[in-house]
Amino acid sequence: MEKSPSREKNNGLKKGPWTPEEDRKLIDYIQKHGHCKWRTLPKNAGLKRCGKSCRLRWANYLRPDIKRGRFSFEEEEAIIQLHSVLGNKWSTIAASLPGRTDNEIKNYWNTHIKKRLLKMGIDPVTHTPCLDLLQLSSILNPSLCTSPQLNYSGLLGMASMLNPNLLSFLTTLLSSQSKNPDTINTNQLLQQNQLPQVQNQPQYCSQPMQLNSVQAFQPNQLQDPIQDSPACATPNTSIPNLWQYNGGQLEQQPDQSQTHNFSLPKLNSMINNLLKNQVSQSQNSSTFNLNALLHSTASSFCPSTLNSSSSTTFVNGATEDERDTYCSNMLMYNISNGLNDSGLL
């Protein structure tokens, strides 16, 4: 790639883009003599560059073991995972990714991953759900909603910040949905009689990835909420209309005679209504109105269809949207795992 004319420093050392000729000289020299002394290398190799520039060119571009091309999804997952632990320790992260340089990873993080996380409602610095007004409006404004699956993670992130009960409820519902793709038994959920632990720092990536498990969260067979079948939403006033968060225990006992089944589109609208309600009431409230949730009507929050992507598309060469979808599913999967680990599901 030919760039602008090279710059020169006062001391005669060249700066700027490397030419193929310079590359060849550097490669030839290192292949013959190695690179023990970067300081003296350029002079010996016949290059008008500083040692630092040579080292950088070799390390980031000319090294024979460098892997070129797009980052695979596995690599991306690893970067996010490592960054959540190590922070901006690019060289340490690079050490775990054969063939990738710290500079490349740093650039990829700043140009791709950071944006993706923000889009998912996750703070790329702290790796926790973030709440800002823009995010909030995009989540709550149906016209701005382009990916319902994407918004699940945003919703969960929001929920966790607004109300620990809400996060527990949503994740339980979503996990239940994976076991029974058509219906959710609310009574069964209530009978658990204990709220799961709220994770302080939800993980949204895991190693190794378990595509089959994640696929269980693919909300397939979605219908237009407006066309929801009557059997899918059966509100019942005998269900306690309030869950009181009190050290993880439900204070009101559920009515064990009633079962409520509803489809995922209905769930979508319920979550949306719940969040709207929660936001308008008070942040950090320890209660939410279950009865209102069950009675809430389908809104236009959820677009009419979702594509049921196959897991095999989430490997190398996945589109941006597919990656977003997968990342969102991973969030739900990991939160669900947290529930499973606590023996609640």
Residues near DNA, by CB under 7 A: 1-4, 14-18, 36-40, 51-53, 55-57, 60-61, 88-92, 102-104, 106-108, 110-112, 115
Q: Give whichever of 106 and 295 is closer to DNA, judged by the CB atom.
A: 106
Report residue 17 as tokens. 């883009």
Instruction: Specify whether the CB–CB gap between 175 and 336 falls below 8 A.
Output: yes
Write down the least CB distance from residue 113 to DNA, Å. Answer: 10
Instruction: Specify whether the CB–CB gap between 265 and 228 falls below 8 A.
Output: yes
Strand partners, 244: 287
Q: Give whichever of 106 and 276 is closer to DNA, judged by the CB atom.
A: 106
Write down the least CB distance from residue 229 to DNA, Å. Answer: 39
Q: Give whichever of 13 and 211 is closer to DNA, judged by the CB atom.
A: 13
Q: Give whichever of 84 and 197 is closer to DNA, judged by the CB atom.
A: 84
Identify the three-state secondary structure at position 177: helix
Count other Cβ atoms within 10 Å, centred on residue 271: 25
- Helix, strand, coil % in the chain, rounded to nearest 5: 50, 5, 45
Q: Measuring CA to CA, which residue among 51, 71, 54 is closest to residue 62?
A: 54
Write down the least CB distance from residue 52 to DNA, Å. Answer: 6
Task: Sort strands 242-244 and 287-289 into parallel, antiparallel or unpaired.
Answer: antiparallel
Write down the least CB distance from residue 226 to DNA, Å. Answer: 31
Instruction: Specify whether the CB–CB gap between 99 and 72 falls below 8 A.
Output: no
Backbone phi, psi, residue 140, to 5°: -90, -15
DSSP-assigned states of every residue in 30-55: HHHH--S-TTTHHHHHT--S-HHHHH
Name residue, tokens 């696929």: 215
Write down the least CB distance from residue 24 to DNA, Å. Answer: 13
Write down the least CB distance from residue 107 to DNA, Å. Answer: 4
Peptide bond into 17 cis (omega under 30): no
Q: Give whichever of 102 and 324 is closer to DNA, judged by the CB atom.
A: 102
Q: Give whichever of 22 and 77 is closer to DNA, judged by the CB atom.
A: 22
Write down the least CB distance from residue 70 to DNA, Å. Answer: 8
Q: Give whichever of 38 and 236 is closer to DNA, judged by the CB atom.
A: 38
Q: Helices (H) and strands (E) in the chain — how many of each?
A: 15, 4
Q: Give whichever of 56 and 136 is closer to DNA, judged by the CB atom.
A: 56
Write down the least CB distance from residue 211 to DNA, Å. Answer: 25
CA distance 226 to 266: 9
